[in-house]
Structure 1
Amino acid sequence: QRREALALTEQADQHAALKAMQAFGTTDFRADLPKVDVPALVVHGDGDATVPFEGSGARTHAAVAGSRLHVIAGGPHGCNVSHADEFNRVLLDFLAS
């Protein structure tokens, strides 16, 4: 999975990738979260060392009224790939509700 991720990143334009990383690290959407008025699902791994659950998933869930939270035990950043079966099951259950 790591090799596949690296191969994918090598396809990106370096300038665009660096600008995207800068935007990810400096854009603050916290004021927008309480405005979400549609069903929302927050899926986050509790093993994410890149974007820790406490600083992102937990706070997003708390800020979006009525959101549903699913924490993937041991899930790293990219848990949609590493824990694809669980991620997809939770997503499909949410979409069916």
Structure 2
Amino acid sequence: MDSFGTTDFREDLKKVTVPTLVIHGEADSIVPIKGFGLRTHHAVHHSKLVRGNGALHVLNVSHAQAFNDALLAFLRT
């Protein structure tokens, strides 16, 4: 558990070559989109970013339909 908050994966993200979907809640105050979702999207070449409008930290629960729709649309491409 110690490595969860201390491991830096930024260099690893640059090596991702598979299609990648980044879904992040815009109202997430636990893990802010600016510091994590956007950074991940920019680090993973050719990733797709979906912003959960008004979504908090667990947007797959609070915005389940939007999450599922985004995931299914990504898988169909």
Moved over 2 A (4+): none
Distance 1:60 1:74 in 2: 19
Compute the displacement of 1:24 (Å): 1.7
Compute the displacement of 1:62 (Å): 0.4
CA RMSD between the two structures:
0.7
Counterpart amino acid of residue 32 in structure 2: P
Partner of 2:34: 54
Which 5+ residue runs of structure 2 have no aligned equivalent? none
Partner of 1:92: 72
Which 5+ residue runs of structure 1 have no aligned equivalent? 1-19
Report the secondary structure of 2:61's partner residue: helix
Correspondence list, 1:47-86, <5 A: 47-86=27-66
Q: How many residues are paired up?
A: 77
Which protein is bigger by CA-based radius of gyration?
1
Correspondence list, 1:23-42, <5 A: 23-42=3-22
TM-score normalised per structure 2: 0.96
Distance 1:76 1:60 in 2: 18
Counterpart amino acid of residue 58 in structure 1: L
Distance 1:96 1:62 in 2: 22
Identity %: 55
Distance 2:4 2:32 in 1: 14
Which is bigger in relative contact order (C-alpha 8 A, separation at least 6)? Answer: 2
